[in-house]
Amino acid sequence: MKVAIYGQSYRNNSGKYVKLLINTLLENGVELIIEQDFYTIIKEEVGLPEELATFSASDKVDPSFDLLFSVGGDGTLLRTITYVRNSGLPIIGINTGRLGFLATIQKDKIEESITDLVNGNYKIVERSLLKLSASPAIDDFDVLDFALNEIVVSRKNTTSMITVETYLNDEYLTNYWADGLIVATPTGSTGYSLSCAGPVIAPNAKSFVLTPIAPHNLNARPLVIPDNTEIRLRVSGREDTYLVSLDSRIATVPNNTDLIISRAPFNINLIELADQSFLKTLRNKLLWGEDKRN
């Protein structure tokens, strides 16, 4: 088995888990390659048993890899997809952060999870992505024009609302007067959209959701739409620019730029271990059913 590892940083008490991950993989005869910047961070702090190969953002993902470990929280896993892109390389996350809807391996389950992976006790689930195109083009998103969780337009440098003129398949929907608008995938429905009262959507649903952020028109509610819908947005406001974010990547965009959002032409593959499921994650993370009356 050949495995890549990516992380950004780690908390002081997480170093031992990073070391445990690497040592356990090596003990199981797994060939390792680690993202270059993360390797620099952990090499001295954690103490590694040997020199290991590294890769960087400019490297192409080798199709001989079996999977990629994301070490951190959900934000780290979202950054991981910028390395994987459309390669189809499966990703699995180790949660050294907090909530962890995407990074599902808990720190105390590292060894048994690796045993399951080595023995093939897992399945691959596909997650849809969003794609952004703009006129005029946004240079910051020239190559990385996709998002696993959400694409968001939001105000910048002002307390004033923005107006988001919204069309679905070229049919006018509405003008959102709000702090912004979230377009989320089913994967992203448990992220920013959820905190703005958006619905939870099952990962295999062929849907997207439009969730306004603090709308002034109070009758504006989240809207679930088919994922083959083309969404066109045009933003205006008192300031000359606003913000567009694709997951954790963000850019400043001038008013009246036409944004076209659609389903990306590829999926991201996430690994789900035998004892994991989306419904189990909901119960564990959102504490559904945790009520003394039940």
* Annotated binding-site residue? 75: yes
Q: What's the length of the chain?
A: 294
74 assigned to active site: yes
Q: How many CB atoms lie within 10 A of CB 216?
A: 12
193 and 209 Cβ atoms separated by less than 8 Å: yes
153 and 281 Cβ atoms separated by less than 8 Å: no
* Annotated binding-site residue? 275: no
Mapped onto helix, strand or coil, the DSSP state of residue 205 is coil
Q: Which amino acid, 174?
A: T
* Annotated binding-site residue? 102: no
For tokens 């998002």, name the residue.
147
* CA 225 – CA 262 distance, rounded (Å): 11
* Annotated binding-site residue? 74: yes
Contacts 24+ apart (CB under 8 A), 139-143: 140/249, 140/250, 140/251, 141/244, 141/246, 141/249, 141/251
* Annotated binding-site residue? 149: yes
Rg, C-alpha atoms of the chain: 20
Of the candidates 59, 62, 74, 247, the residue annotated as catalytic is 74
* Annotated binding-site residue? 193: yes
Structure tokens, 111: 């060894």
Q: What does the CA dihedral 287, 291, 292, 294 come to, rounded to 10 degrees?
A: -110
* Annotated binding-site residue? 176: no
Burial of 266 (0-12, 13-18, 19+ CB in 10 A): middle
248 and 144 Cβ atoms separated by less than 8 Å: no
* Annotated binding-site residue? 272: no
Choose among 28, 131, 148: nearest CA to 84: 148
Choose among 141, 122, 119: nearest CA to 131: 141
* Annotated binding-site residue? 190: yes
Q: Return the active site residues.
A: 74
Binding-site residues for NAD(+), in ranges, read 74-75, 79, 149-150, 179, 190-195, 214
